[in-house]
């Protein structure tokens, strides 16, 4: 079995983000690392985030930094990854690519202890970069310019210190003196010698300054001082003329200003009042913003509160450090403050957001300050604050993020043309069920009813130089309606259009006149209102029309083509006639090329199943240039920059047709319309659903739109809607725009309460049942009570208590009754042994929860399945595995585990508890098996039957190594997934009532997801980001099945402390992301099935099995050439990456192959030559295989 791996949805989570002027000029861009993908984002004029470029780098990005050489206008990007190399990238605006400027190797690849890549620090003046590892190694590279002003990089200078852990590094701003880097370090050499742990508790973190002596080209330890042991993050403080220099050390509960020869200035980080006393407050992300006259820091805590930190300083002496509560936004992995007054917040889970600054928190009241720091016997006195609604920030855009996907199922519950992907995403109060549909999202601007069923619609400008359209013309079967576009859309009658006849085409012709083609003639409306009519000869009517701005071709019924051109005076002149052999099915003229008089090509589709390209040149007018036959009569034709739906490329010189591609779009004959997308011509295909064909980052994409079936469409441009589409469907006129180009899926979001864990489907009732649970949170009632108390306290504070009053100063205009949304502020933290959990029945169509059972008394649900027991008394039941009082730390313990059995009532919309059965461990896996229930409880696999008051034990097997996390059953085989030890194949012998393990895997795999493929094959994913398939060898499988007594299995000796037989690994692939769910499904109607997976970083991918050996050969060679000629951007070797933990086996990386179109043309040709093909054929092949998957 050979598989083609393709990422359908790139990772949506963000590891880190930086901002700068990467394209040069004034605009600020954001570079985000999404694990294995590097993206360049830019907020557009409307404040919406647009993705300019997205590159898969086949490696793990761990850190990013930007720097600018002195006096330069452009920022460079430094990437720290797992490649053992430092890579400096430059964004090339013209080609829209990242250019690799430098790549320096310093160590082994992989995320290792002592190989740098984890941390990056930049000298604020852009003279040097430090790249550090978690332990020991730090390297400094000097950056400079050569005589041609190109960036140069030196050989590395070592700043290693052995037996040292590094927590954070940053550059110190010291103007143009020697560059200094600061690091939080911890020396563990003594702790290692002492196994009692005494030395370990005494170990002390130090802040160390490393100075790079530019003259001596040498790095030395300049200064080292003890620092708070909770220190975890360093932030550069502006220096030189702009500030006092030095660093901010963020530690648990404190922010400390430190500099060489300067006393510490320390302030406590304010705590939320409801935070348990034993929990600290940790800063998880930081941003510095520097203006001409001042600078400030935004620090975000792990609970989402953002604090503004300012320094009172006189020269380089800092007198006070002030911390002011700024706002609360969901916890971020990185924050970027843009010069244009935006804050980009890259959330660690859930949607990212772009905020605009309304204020910068300039009020004098601050929560904590170094001046008011109180030290008591127990340590420093904490400061409390109450989170409030956003005051300084306002959210203006969101970027969808699926991170993390915890479970996923594909089904066509809504009976649409293609199946929907149901994913459980997010964490805690920000979790959601997202229904993904293939296609682009559409936002509807207007829908209006028309007096009848329209047959066609056009938009037309009055003048070629107009920015916006003037009229919408709608044709009915016996009339034409003209609507003028202004502030509102209104019917007009003075437009000059003939309204008593249907129209065939309406367009702008020449520079400023309008043309209406109706069945009996052509009406040419001049700008001054004069009207010229051309009538068809005899009783013949016009059947089809093709036109561009200067040329018109009409086809009369019977098959005669008449060709008109606009002459210099703006008159429409008949030029040529041509008799075709039969009726014309469709025709189109290519747009007039820039600077030309006319387009040379006319395409005519006939009912004899051919497409002809005719010349329109005066010297060989109406000569047939080429002919292509198609499988059925063409319905619609459209010239695009490069092709049509039955996509064929017309050679610009000879008019020859080549490179044709076809794609099934739907059940109805498609109609094609030209529209504008981002200023470029694109095509809209209307079949049983609308499709958009457009060019995105070098790829031609044909993507369905998530919208209703449309009859006819035209592009639309007005004041309110610059690039829209107007379409008719049924009796309505619809105006919509297309959003977020380049996306594969669009999503419908249904919010949930807690972190969703698993769900099951009830396909017949079209309902989902899911379990959600969260550790360390209060139950709904407790939260409600606490909130009430908190608001009461706040109310009391305003009446007298001065201390609280001060804190609430800013909030007086707030509506006190309106509670703070949990989604925004997170649930209050509880002790870690507290759990909340719920079982939910949800109707995905309406998004309504029909039943929600909140589990009581510290119980949390971990597994779910539907089960039909032998006695059909109850029909389908729901089994839920729960644990009560589960604790992981310091030692795993639980009060009890339970299996709940629920009955569906009210047609499945509600649940009723039948009984619950106590078990000794956490039931992590449940599965129906031959009318009974299989449960994996810890390391025990047990079979239960339904009793009146509880489940009845039938048989069990205790021989599993660690803990059972998945169970699949097929016939009498049971496939058990162990937490650490991969799959175990078991057999149930009914006559003996025993469970045997007859085969297992020889590789320890920490399973995170599993799926049953066929009788002998299982697919699994492990926590290191690998997907693998194992298969029981055919002979072993036959032997087991042929053994009638089962005696052999029973008495056979195990091998290597395991089962007697071993499964074989048949497929192995490193995805580079933790896969949490696997599913076999087909995403296109009538297409083959592929394995779909969802990951923690919020990406969705597919593995598709090749059906022919030729394809395997072709793609493995293409992959090989791509590996050789196009090594990954960040320096990781592609083969090594895909084989990071186990050698890749029988999987071809489609993501690498799909980078083929981004190669320079000569390289494309070179690779194509070696494969004995043309680049066009390779592109076609790539498109074909993609179309088989999605």
Q: Check: CB of residue 984 under 8 Å from CB of residue 999.
A: yes
The residue (of 20 and 428) whose beta carbon lies closer to another protein is 428
Greatest Cα-to-Cα distance within the chain, rounded to the nearest angstrom: 108
> Closest distance between another protein and the C-beta of residue 1167, in Å?
32
Determine the 3-state secondary structure of 1169 from DSSP: helix
By DSSP bridging, strand 480-485 and strand 471-475 are: antiparallel
> Closest distance between another protein and the C-beta of residue 136, in Å?
6
For the CA atoms of 45, 47, 49, 52, the dihedral, rounded to the nearest 10 degrees, stands at: 10
The residue (of 176 and 888) whose beta carbon lies closer to another protein is 888
Dist CA 31 CA 41 (whole Å): 6
Between CA 265 and CA 274, with CA 271 as vertex, the angle to 5 degrees is 165
Q: Check: CB of residue 87 under 8 Å from CB of residue 76.
A: no
Q: Check: CB of residue 229 under 8 Å from CB of residue 205.
A: yes
> Closest distance between another protein and the C-beta of residue 776, in Å?
5
> Closest distance between another protein and the C-beta of residue 1132, in Å?
13
The residue (of 717 and 863) whose beta carbon lies closer to another protein is 863
490 CB-contact burial (10 Å; exposed 0-12 / middle 13-18 / buried 19+): exposed
Q: Which two tokens stand for residue 651?
A: 């050679």
Q: Is the peptide bond before 788 cis (omega within 30 degrees of 0)?
A: no
The residue (of 636 and 1076) whose beta carbon lies closer to another protein is 1076
By DSSP bridging, strand 610-615 and strand 624-629 are: antiparallel
The residue (of 1133 and 1146) whose beta carbon lies closer to another protein is 1133
Dist CA 468 CA 844 (whole Å): 40
Residue with tokens 């409307």: 46
C-alpha distances out from residue 1054 to 182, 913, 999, 1017, 1058, Å: 57, 42, 9, 21, 5
Q: Which DSSP string corresponds to 1140-1151? A: SSS--BSEEEHH
Dist CA 906 CA 903 (whole Å): 10
The residue (of 330 and 454) whose beta carbon lies closer to another protein is 330
Q: Check: CB of residue 727 under 8 Å from CB of residue 738.
A: no
> Closest distance between another protein and the C-beta of residue 282, in Å?
5
780 CB-contact burial (10 Å; exposed 0-12 / middle 13-18 / buried 19+): middle
> Closest distance between another protein and the C-beta of residue 759, in Å?
12
The residue (of 126 and 897) whose beta carbon lies closer to another protein is 897
Dist CA 723 CA 9 (whole Å): 25
Q: Which DSSP string corresponds to 1000-1039? A: E-SS---EEEEEEEETTEEEEEETTSEEEEEE--HHHHHH
> Closest distance between another protein and the C-beta of residue 205, in Å?
9
> Closest distance between another protein and the C-beta of residue 288, in Å?
17
The residue (of 284 and 1129) whose beta carbon lies closer to another protein is 284
The residue (of 721 and 1007) whose beta carbon lies closer to another protein is 1007
The residue (of 391 and 757) whose beta carbon lies closer to another protein is 757
The residue (of 156 and 908) whose beta carbon lies closer to another protein is 156
The residue (of 400 and 1016) whose beta carbon lies closer to another protein is 400
> Closest distance between another protein and the C-beta of residue 107, in Å?
10
> Closest distance between another protein and the C-beta of residue 890, in Å?
7
Q: Check: CB of residue 22 under 8 Å from CB of residue 91.
A: yes
Q: Which two tokens stand for residue 1027?
A: 């997907």
The residue (of 1073 and 1183) whose beta carbon lies closer to another protein is 1073
DSSP state of 794: H
Dist CA 596 CA 1078 (whole Å): 55
Q: Check: CB of residue 275 under 8 Å from CB of residue 269.
A: no
C-alpha distances out from residue 499 to 483, 547, 608, Å: 11, 21, 34
Dist CA 801 CA 397 (whole Å): 39
The residue (of 71 and 197) whose beta carbon lies closer to another protein is 197
DSSP 3-state helix, strand, coil percentages of the chain (rounded to 5)? Answer: 10, 50, 40
356 CB-contact burial (10 Å; exposed 0-12 / middle 13-18 / buried 19+): middle
> Closest distance between another protein and the C-beta of residue 432, in Å?
14
- Distance linking the first and last C-alpha atoms of the chain: 20
The residue (of 405 and 804) whose beta carbon lies closer to another protein is 405
């Amino acid at each position: 079995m050979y598989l083609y791996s393709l990422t359908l949805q790139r990772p949506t989570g963000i590891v880190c983000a930086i901002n700068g002027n990467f394209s040069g000029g004034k605009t600020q861009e954001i570079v985000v690392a999404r694990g294995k993908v590097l993206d360049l984002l830019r907020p557009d004029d409307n404040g919406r985030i647009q993705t300019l470029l997205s590159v898969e780098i086949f490696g793990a990005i761990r850190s990013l930094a930007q720097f600018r050489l002195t006096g330069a206008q452009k920022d460079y990007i430094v990437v720290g990854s797992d490649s053992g190399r430092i890579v400096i990238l430059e964004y090339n605006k013209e080609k829209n690519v990242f250019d690799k400027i430098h790549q320096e190797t310093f160590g082994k690849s992989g995320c290792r202890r002592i190989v740098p890549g984890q941390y990056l620090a930049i000298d604020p003046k852009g003279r040097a970069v430090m790249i550090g590892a978690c332990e020991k190694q730090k390297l400094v590279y000097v950056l400079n310019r050569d005589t041609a002003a190109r960036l140069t990089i030196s050989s590395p200078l070592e700043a290693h210190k052995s037996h040292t852990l590094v927590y954070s590094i940053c550059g110190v701003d010291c103007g143009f003196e020697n560059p200094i880097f600061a690091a939080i370090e911890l020396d563990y050499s003594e702790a290692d010698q002492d196994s009692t742990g005494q030395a370990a508790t005494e170990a002390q973190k130090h802040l160390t300054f490393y100075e790079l002596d530019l003259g001596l080209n040498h790095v030395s330890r300049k200064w080292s001082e003890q620092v708070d042991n909770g220190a975890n993050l360093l932030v550069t403080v502006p220096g030189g003329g702009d500030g006092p220099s030095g660093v901010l050390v963020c530690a648990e509960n404190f922010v400390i200003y430190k500099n060489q020869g300067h006393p510490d200035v320390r302030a406590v980080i304010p705590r939320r009042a409801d935070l348990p006393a034993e929990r600290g407050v940790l800063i998880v992300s930081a941003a510095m913003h520097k203006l001409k006259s001042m600078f400030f820091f935004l620090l975000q805590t792990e609970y989402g509160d953002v604090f503004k930190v300012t320094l009172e300083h006189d020269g380089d002496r800092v007198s006070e450090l002030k911390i002011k509560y700024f706002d609360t936004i969901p916890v971020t992995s990185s924050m970027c403050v843009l010069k244009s007054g935006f804050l980009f917040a890259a959330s660690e889970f859930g949607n990212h957001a772009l905020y605009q600054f309304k204020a910068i928190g300039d009020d004098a009241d601050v929560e904590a300050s170094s001046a008011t720091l109180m030290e008591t016997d127990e340590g420093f006195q904490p400061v409390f604050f109450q989170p409030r609604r956003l005051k300084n920030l306002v959210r203006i855009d969101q970027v969808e993020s699926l991170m993390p996907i915890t479970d996923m199922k594909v089904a066509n519950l809504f009976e649409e043309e293609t199946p929907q992907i149901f994913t459980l995403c997010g964490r805690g109060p920000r979790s959601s069920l997202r229904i993904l549909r293939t296609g682009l999202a559409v936002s509807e601007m207007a829908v209006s009813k028309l007096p009848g069923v329209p047959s066609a619609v056009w938009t037309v400008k009055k003048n070629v130089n107009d920015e916006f359209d003037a009229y919408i013309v709608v044709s009915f079967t016996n009339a034409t309606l003209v609507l003028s576009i202004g502030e509102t859309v209104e019917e007009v009658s003075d437009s000059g259009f003939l309204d008593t006849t249907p129209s065939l085409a309406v367009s702008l012709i020449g520079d400023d006149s309008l043309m209406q083609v109706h069945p009996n003639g052509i009406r040419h409306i001049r700008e001054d209102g004069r009207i010229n009519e051309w009538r068809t000869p005899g009783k013949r009517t016009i059947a089809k029309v093709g036109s561009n701005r200067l040329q018109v071709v009409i086809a009369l019924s019977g098959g005669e083509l008449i060709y008109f051109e606009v002459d210099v005076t703006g008159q429409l002149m008949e030029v040529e006639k041509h008799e075709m052999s039969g009726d014309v099915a469709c025709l189109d003229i290519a747009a007039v090329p820039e600077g030309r008089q006319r387009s040379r090509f006319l395409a005519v589709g006939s009912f004899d199943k051919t497409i002809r390209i005719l010349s329109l040149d005066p010297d060989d007018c109406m000569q047939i240039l080429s002919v292509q036959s198609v499988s059925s009569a063409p319905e619609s034709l459209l010239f695009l920059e490069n092709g049509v739906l039955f996509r064929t490329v017309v050679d610009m010189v000879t008019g020859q047709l080549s490179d044709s591609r076809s794609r099934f779009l739907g059940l109805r004959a498609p109609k094609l319309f030209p529209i504008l997308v981002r200023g470029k011509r694109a095509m809209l295909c209307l079949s049983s659903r609308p499709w958009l064909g457009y060019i995105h980052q070098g790829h031609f994409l044909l993507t369905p739109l998530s919208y209703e079936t449309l009859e006819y469409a035209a592009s639309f441009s007005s004041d309110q809607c610059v690039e829209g589409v107007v379409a008719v469907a049924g009796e309505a006129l619809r105006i919509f725009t297309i959003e977020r180009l380049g996306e594969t899926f669009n999503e419908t979001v249904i919010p949930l309460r807690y972190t969703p864990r698993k769900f099951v489907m009830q396909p017949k009732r079209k309902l989902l049942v899911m379990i959600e649970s969260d550790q360390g949170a209060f139950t709904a009632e407790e939260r409600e009570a606490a909130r009430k108390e908190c608001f009461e306290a706040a109310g009391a504070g305003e009446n007298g208590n001065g201390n609280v009053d001060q804190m609430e100063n800013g909030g007086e205009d707030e509506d006190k009754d309106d509670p703070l949304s949990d989604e925004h502020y997170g649930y209050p933290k509880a002790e870690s042994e507290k759990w909340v959990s719920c079982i939910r029945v949800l109707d995905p169509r309406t998004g309504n929860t029909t039943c929600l059972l909140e589990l009581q008394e510290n119980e949390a649900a971990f597994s779910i399945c539907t089960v039909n027991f032998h006695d059909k008394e109850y029909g389908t039941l729901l089994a839920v595995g729960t644990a009560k009082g589960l604790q992981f730390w310091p030692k795993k313990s639980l009060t009890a585990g339970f299996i709940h059995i629920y009955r569906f009532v009210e047609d499945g919309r509600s649940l009723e508890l039948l009984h619950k059965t106590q078990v000794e461990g956490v039931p992590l896996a449940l599965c129906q098996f031959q009318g009974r229930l299989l449960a994996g409880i810890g390391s025990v696999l047990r079979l239960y039957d339904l009793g009146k008051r509880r489940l009845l034990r039938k048989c069990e097997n205790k021989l599993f190594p660690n803990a059972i996390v998945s169970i699949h059953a097929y016939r009498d085989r049971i496939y058990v997934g162990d937490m650490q030890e991969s799959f175990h194949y078991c057999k149930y012998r009914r006559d003996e009532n025993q469970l045997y393990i007859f085969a297992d895997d020889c590789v320890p795999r920490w399973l995170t997801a599993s799926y049953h493929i066929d009788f002998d094959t299982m697919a699994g994913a492990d926590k290191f980001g690998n997907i693998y398939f194992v298969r029981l060898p055919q002979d072993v499988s036959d032997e087991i099945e042929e053994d009638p007594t089962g005696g052999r299995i029973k008495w056979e000796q195990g091998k290597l402390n395991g089962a007697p037989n071993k499964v074989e690994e048949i497929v192995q692939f490193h995805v580079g992301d933790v896969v949490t769910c696997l599913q076999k499904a087909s995403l296109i109607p009538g297409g083959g099935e592929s394995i779909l997976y969802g990951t923690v970083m919020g990406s969705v991918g597919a593995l598709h099995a090749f059906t022919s050996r030729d394809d395997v050969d072709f793609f493995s060679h293409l992959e090989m050439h791509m590996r050789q000629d196009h090594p990954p951007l960040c320096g990781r070797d592609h083969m090594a990456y895909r084989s990071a933990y186990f050698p890749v086996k029988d999987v071809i990386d489609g993501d690498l192959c799909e980078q083929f179109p981004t190669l320079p043309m000569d390289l494309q040709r070179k690779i194509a030559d070696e494969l004995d093909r043309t680049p066009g054929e390779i592109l076609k092949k790539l498109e074909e295989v993609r179309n088989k998957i999605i």
